[in-house]
């Protein structure tokens, strides 16, 4: 039995994702495709456009065989920690043979060389990195400029300019550490730029599709599988807008002490003071983020900090998550034909397999704490979605198609 893994968000699932799923099967010849998917919140520091159960159904209908949830503490984190979480879950199944990811750079040898360079942090690089950070630059910018100053090869610099290539490099780094026998596979992205705000035919970026959905632009529908388009067009699914967190997030921030703000992931160097002041005097989430953003603190980083405040995620939770043994295999859904895969995972997994709420009782305290975070995050998402019919975590069985 051969199993390929994909780490995704499907926010929303579109034709480019379907292409990725199809190419994964074709290139690897695998029997099963396992997906690790962000839950109700995504790496850009926003609520997903649809809840995790809906997006799980989309994934299964589009070719995935099983969907695991990426813990919220990993999903709302930097590219490095996002990748660590996703690879840890896939490696923890004990059945991973391939890790397939989309990339602007399809040459896996170049990406592997880049991963090796990043993994080998020389004293010269550490000094150059510190020099760049003292200039007030964000971590991604400082890393790029440090490598540039040291005369890094062009293929590495080109990869560090591309969001998907950066993720691919991080995936390879952690794959070599956690599942060295598994093979990385880079699948060349189709013709739309990752962050392009423009709709382009039937293949567009998730960014452009989300904006079109928020603006009720029917042009978005041709960029997604018909079943998904129909759900949006009929109004049975209403996309959750990033601004929906506004009141809850401002309330959460305003009631937090400086010590509590300081305990949030990625808050350091006195940023808790900036956060407290601006949360108190901003009357919108957009205004708050505009006031917080700086050279050092990117917009995405600020959004993740705000979301962590709302969900109660702290540096302690982040410490749990970076210890791979504290993670888990939370099954959101699977295809009926994938039952042999689940049996194989149950025999070989190195992380606890969570299908029912009763399974949580068998977990270590650190793992239980992270699972409780996911449950709370889903309950808060129900408020954002404004639908009483949203499935409550563990009140229903996994999605089965």
Cα 306 vs. chain centroid, distance in angstroms? 16
What residues contact 269, with CB distance under 8 A and at least 6 apart? 296
Q: What is the pLDDT of residue 122?
A: 86
Task: In whole angstroms, give the CA distance from residue 279 to residue 227.
Answer: 41
Ordered alpha helix ranges (H), 33-105: 52-61, 72-75, 79-92
Q: What is the pLDDT of residue 221?
A: 96
Task: Provide the number of structural domains found in the chain.
Answer: 3
Q: In the listed set 263, 283, 317, which residue is the last one of a domain according to the structure?
A: 317
Task: In whole angstroms, give the CA distance from residue 326 to residue 323.
Answer: 6
Q: What is the pLDDT of residue 52?
A: 97
Residue 112 lies in a domain: no
Q: What is the pLDDT of residue 276?
A: 98
The answer to whether the beta carbons of residues 289 and 46 sit under 8 Å apart is no
Calculate the alpha carbon distances from 349 to 89, 98, 190, 343 in Å. Answer: 10, 16, 34, 10
Cβ neighbourhood burial of 356 (10 Å; 0-12, 13-18, 19+): exposed
Residue 298 lies in a domain: yes
My answer on whether 276 and 349 are in the same domain is no
Q: In the listed set 317, 333, 348, which residue is the last one of a domain according to the structure?
A: 317
My answer on whether 75 and 169 are in the same domain is yes
My answer on whether 177 and 95 are in the same domain is yes
My answer on whether 180 and 328 are in the same domain is yes
Residue 40 lies in a domain: yes
Rounded to 10°, the helix 315-322/79-92 angle is: 40
Q: What is the pLDDT of residue 386?
A: 80
Q: In the listed set 260, 283, 317, which residue is the last one of a domain according to the structure?
A: 317
What residues contact 149, with CB distance under 8 A and at least 6 apart? 128, 132
Residue 43 lies in a domain: yes
CA nearest 216: which of 237, 201, 200, 195?
A: 237
Task: In whole angstroms, give the CA distance from residue 26 to residue 22.
Answer: 6
Ordered alpha helix ranges (H), 123-205: 123-133, 139-149, 154-160, 163-178
Residue 214 lies in a domain: no
My answer on whether 52 and 187 are in the same domain is yes
What residues contact 178, with CB distance under 8 A and at least 6 apart? 87, 88, 91, 324
For residue 146, the enclosing domain spans 121-161
Q: What is the pLDDT of residue 220?
A: 96
203, 338, 8, 242: CA torsion to nearest 10: 90
* Tokens matching residue 357: 């709420």
pLDDT by 10s per residue, the chain, length 401: 999 999 999 999 999 999 999 999 999 999 999 999 999 999 999 999 999 999 999 999 999 999 999 999 999 999 999 999 999 999 999 999 999 999 988 889 989 988 888 888 888 888 998 999 888 888 888 889 988 988 888 888 888 888 778 899 999 999 999 999 999 999 988 765 556 677 877 899 999 999 999 999 999 999 999 999 999 999 999 999 999 999 999 999 999 999 999 999 999 999 999 999 999 999 999 999 999 999 889 999 999 999 999 999 999 999 999 877 889 999 999 999 999 999 999 999 999 999 998 999 889 999 999 999 999 999 999 999 886 566 678 888 899 99
Task: In whole angstroms, give the CA distance from residue 317 to residue 298.
Answer: 22
Q: What separation, in Å, do the N-terminal and C-terminal C-alpha atoms of the chain show? A: 21
My answer on whether 135 and 87 are in the same domain is no
My answer on whether 141 and 262 are in the same domain is no
CATH number at residue 93: 3.40.50.620
Q: What is the pLDDT of residue 195?
A: 61
Residue 350 lies in a domain: yes
- pTM attached to this predicted model: 0.94
Q: What is the pLDDT of residue 251?
A: 97
């Amino acid at each position: 039995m051969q199993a390929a893994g994909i780490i995704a968000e499907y926010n929303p699932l579109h034709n480019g994702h379907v292409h990725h799923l199809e190419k994964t099967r074709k290139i690897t010849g695998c029997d099963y495709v396992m997906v690790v998917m962000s839950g109700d919140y995504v790496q850009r520091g926003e609520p997903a456009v649809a809840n995790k159960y809906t997006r799980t159904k989309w994934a299964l209908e589009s070719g995935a065989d099983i969907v695991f949830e990426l813990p919220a503490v990993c999903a709302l984190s930097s590219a490095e920690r996002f990748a660590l979480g996703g690879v840890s879950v896939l490696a923890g199944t004990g059945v991973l043979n391939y890790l397939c990811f989309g990339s602007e750079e399809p040459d896996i040898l170049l990406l592997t060389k880049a991963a090796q360079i990043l993994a080998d942090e020389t004293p010269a690089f550490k000094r150059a990195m510190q020099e760049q950070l003292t200039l007030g630059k964000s971590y991604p910018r400082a890393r790029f400029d440090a490598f540039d100053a040291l005369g890094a090869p062009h293929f590495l610099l080109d990869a560090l300019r591309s969001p998907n290539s950066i993720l691919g490099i991080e995936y390879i780094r952690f794959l070599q550490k956690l599942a060295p026998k598994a093979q990385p596979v880079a699948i060349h992205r189709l013709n739309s730029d990752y962050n392009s705000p423009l709709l382009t035919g039937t293949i567009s970026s998730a960014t452009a599709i989300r904006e079109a959905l928020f603006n009720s632009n029917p042009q978005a529908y041709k960029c997604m599988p018909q079943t998904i388009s129909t759900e949006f067009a009929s109004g049975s699914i209403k996309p959750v807008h990033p601004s929906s967190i506004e009141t809850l997030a401002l309330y959460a921030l305003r009631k937090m002490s400086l010590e509590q703000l300081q305990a949030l992931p990625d808050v350091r160097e006195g940023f808790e003071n900036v956060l407290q002041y601006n949360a108190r005097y901003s009357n919108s989430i957009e205004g708050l983020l505009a006031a917080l953003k700086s050279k050092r603190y990117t917009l995405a980083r600020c959004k993740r900090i705000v979301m962590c405040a709302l969900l109660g995620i702290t540096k302690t939770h982040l410490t749990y998550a970076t210890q791979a043994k504290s993670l888990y295999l939370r099954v959101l859904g699977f295809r009926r034909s994938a039952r042999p895969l689940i049996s194989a995972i149950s025999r070989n997994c190195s992380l606890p397999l969570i299908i029912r709420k009763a399974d949580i009782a068998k977990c270590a305290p650190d793992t239980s704490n992270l699972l409780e975070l996911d449950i709370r995050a889903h309950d808060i998402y129900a408020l954002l979605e404004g639908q009483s019919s949203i499935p409550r975590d563990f009140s229903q069985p996994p999605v089965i198609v």
